[in-house]
Structure 1
């Protein structure tokens, strides 16, 4: 089972950062969210985006601070980091870790990794409100377990997808282990998942492709002939 050290090594190897808030003492599930965030960033860059890391106040940064509990996108408790993603001709996007969004029921939900319109993110920071799902491009629910992921994780993900509406159809359940029962459950409900996502596995490429597909759907609305 890949642990914190291996995940940290991968983040430090692939992220252009002077420092990051994760350490060897961080909880593995927190670092795993950071790892999936990194895969989303890589997918955006591979699709031709310019990617910059910003603080909640909009300043460029190479000192990356990531949430380790659900939070509001406008929180200034710490200088939390997000990625600003720019594609030519399309509205800018942001990639976040651990922010809350407003579901169709108007109930708040945490998205472990969220890609949304930058304009919506800025509006929410100014007005202290939760992002609306109609401006969300992709979401990932990240689950890290010491053993096989329980079926309950898939059931919880199904409930999240229902309340996320349109973006729920593109949301992906990402786990570090495998559970055939979860696959059957999610397949029956036409949900998206990727199991065994760890450094060096084939599933890493598959997850990046899922992020890329969601990004493509966003871009071609504005640049129909864009080649992702």
Structure 2
């Protein structure tokens, strides 16, 4: 089944206000920048961004732009705040949290990855020892001030565990190095990061692909994300960007 869209604008044309969108990336690697730019152009608002690592100034400029534009209601993340060490200034994301215009929900990175993986595997919840004895025993949602809700815990074989629930976004924006017209995807090195688990977790996955090949052009043993998880594919040019964190 050919899933190719002519443009990123076409691929995101029907995403409604209030959507939960998974955005992969480890700093700047594997970020679906062109899909994000198309979403910015549409002006979709009241979004929850389920990120892997971000938004960071110098690495996730598109996410920062969305925060500045007032398009973001909430961010679910593993990297809460970034303050400029050299200048002592809050970045726009941190400032939005302090102003109370954006909510932030934080999890350890491994826990967050497992929340996506669990959703993709059809597992509604899981127990983890990560965060025992820390603030991670509570669900922490921060805007002007933290709102903390204790999480359920359980003793298993003498070890205390935290119950975490699967996270299933409405959409996932994916960046792949190679993909075919059916939606089979392959990532490049560090750019893989959260892409595979987010593609599995989301109800609707859209992939931007640097190198598009015909169906059957990818060796099945080299596929990282099978086509069954992907609804739309958009061929894009590889873009150059400067990473700079003061």
Task: Provide TM-score, normalisation by structure 2.
Answer: 0.32
The answer to which structure, 1 or 2, has the higher relative contact order (CA under 8 A, 6+ apart) is: 2
Give the structure with the higher percent strand.
Answer: 2
Task: Return the index of the structure with the highest Cα Rg.
Answer: 2
Task: Provide TM-score, normalisation by structure 1.
Answer: 0.34
Give the structure with the higher percent helix.
Answer: 1
